[in-house]
């Protein structure tokens, strides 16, 4: 079981989100290419599955407007075939740059080769792809999900004592954040063999998915001490299931999640969640700056890692009033 949770005295140097990629550029910045034409960007979004995704979409749309970039936007409803269709449509429309968040890591080489042959640069945002051909995209802007999983696992190692049974609510099967958050978490908890993942299943990053899977875990598992949810939304779904089973979330069953969206931070401040690892969705400003460079043929770093922190219950109470999403 976990020993009494003490509020962490440590102050985590959090990224002041206004400095990390939110806030709008000067209104009407000229999003034009070298010959003065307006830059058109085709963006193929994963879907609208979570609070994180909503904030990410808003950041991209707001910052495109602020940068004077003409944004063509599509929502793939978490289906890879819809993202591929959208990318093909952007190629036919001869956009100047394509950006997207790959719903899963594999199956992109063919369509990205088509974009390359059409001389349209591609930027990966949020999630990565698993491809040997690094020439298929100019850069990958997003979080280090393995690091996020390690932060979650590290907190549990610091706060658990004795046999601790963990149930894991995984993100979308095959998605980079699901694969890497699992990997980082398992790497860290290996330090304490008493901490065991007794059940692990995808809730597809949605609140309903998290609730359904948690209901099944509560029926099948004789002893659950901790929920590790790959995002806040599944953690919030798990809270509903835990309450319906007559248990107290945050006390009878501790909860660790990733994202730090407003609903998650509110549950953390209320004591229903015990720890949240932040995943910054405000990628819009950095994406537009990268897009202007790649359209002009300027060099960009192959990897841009977003800065993000972690929150205890006390830190959530202090941070909530300033949160932008």
**Residues interacting with ligand GZL, by CB under 6 A?**
49-50, 52-53, 126-127, 142-143, 177, 205, 231, 233, 258-259, 279
Q: How far is the CB of 272 from ligand GZL (least distance, A)?
A: 18
Choose between 165 and 231: whose C-beta lies nearer to ligand GZL. Answer: 231
DSSP assignment string, 119-145: T--EEEESS----S-GGG-SEEEE--H
Rg (CA), the chain: 20
Q: Which sign does the torsion angle of CA 135, 139, 145, 151 carry?
A: positive
Q: How far is the CB of 147 from ligand GZL (least distance, A)?
A: 12
Which of 250, 236, 266 has its CA nearest to residue 159? 250
| Dihedral angle, C-alpha 55, 53, 65, 297, nearest 10 ° | 130
* CA angle at 146 for the pair 140 and 148, rounded to the nearest 5°: 100
Choose between 143 and 164: whose C-beta lies nearer to ligand GZL. Answer: 143
Q: How far is the CB of 206 from ligand GZL (least distance, A)?
A: 8
* CA angle at 318 for the pair 317 and 324, rounded to the nearest 5°: 95
Choose between 164 and 231: whose C-beta lies nearer to ligand GZL. Answer: 231
Choose between 31 and 51: whose C-beta lies nearer to ligand GZL. Answer: 51
235 within 8 A of 80, measured Cβ to Cβ? no
- DSSP 8-class letter at 320: G
Choose between 127 and 182: whose C-beta lies nearer to ligand GZL. Answer: 127
Choose between 96 and 207: whose C-beta lies nearer to ligand GZL. Answer: 207
Q: How far is the CB of 21 from ligand GZL (least distance, A)?
A: 13
302 within 8 A of 140, measured Cβ to Cβ? yes
Q: How far is the CB of 79 from ligand GZL (least distance, A)?
A: 14
Q: Strands of 275-278's sheet, edge to edge?
A: 195-202, 164-170, 226-229, 254-259, 275-278, 310-311
Choose between 167 and 236: whose C-beta lies nearer to ligand GZL. Answer: 236
Q: How far is the CB of 22 from ligand GZL (least distance, A)?
A: 15
Q: How far is the CB of 258 from ligand GZL (least distance, A)?
A: 6
Among the residues of the chain, which ranges form H helices?
17-20, 51-67, 80-92, 109-117, 145-159, 176-189, 207-220, 232-244, 262-269, 284-295, 313-319
């Amino acid at each position: 079981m976990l020993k009494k949770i003490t509020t962490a005295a440590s102050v985590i140097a959090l990224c002041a989100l206004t400095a990390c990629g939110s806030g709008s550029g000067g209104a009407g910045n000229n999003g034009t290419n070298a010959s003065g034409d307006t830059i058109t960007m085709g963006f193929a979004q994963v879907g609208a599955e979570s609070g994180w995704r909503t904030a990410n979409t808003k950041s991209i749309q707001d910052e495109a407007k602020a940068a004077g970039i003409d944004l063509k936007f599509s929502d793939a409803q978490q289906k890879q075939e819809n993202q591929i269709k959208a990318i093909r449509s952007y190629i036919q429309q001869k956009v100047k740059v394509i950006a997207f968040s790959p719903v899963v890591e594999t199956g992109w080489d063919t369509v990205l080769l088509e974009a390359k042959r059409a001389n349209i640069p591609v930027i990966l945002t949020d999630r990565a792809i698993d491809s040997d051909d690094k020439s298929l995209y100019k850069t990958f802007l997003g979080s280090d999900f393995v690091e996020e999983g390690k932060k979650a696992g590290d907190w549990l190692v610091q706060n658990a004592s004795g046999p601790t049974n963990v149930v894991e609510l995984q993100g979308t099967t095959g998605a980079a954040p699901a694969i890497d958050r699992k990997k980082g978490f398992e790497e860290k908890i290996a330090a304490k063999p008493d901490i065991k993942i007794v059940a692990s299943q995808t809730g597809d990053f949605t609140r309903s998915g998290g609730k359904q899977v948690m209901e099944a875990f509560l029926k099948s598992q004789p002893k659950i001490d901790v929920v590790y949810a790959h995002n806040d939304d599944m953690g919030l779904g798990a809270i509903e299931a835990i309450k319906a089973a007559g248990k107290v979330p945050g006390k009878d069953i501790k909860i660790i999640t990733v994202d730090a969206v407003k609903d998650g931070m509110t549950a953390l401040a209320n004591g229903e969640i015990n720890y949240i690892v932040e995943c910054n969705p405000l990628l819009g400003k950095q994406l537009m700056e990268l897009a202007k460079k790649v359209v002009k043929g300027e060099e960009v770093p192959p990897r841009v890692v977003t800065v993000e922190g972690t929150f205890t219950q006390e830190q959530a109470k202090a941070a909530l009033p300033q949160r932008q999403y």
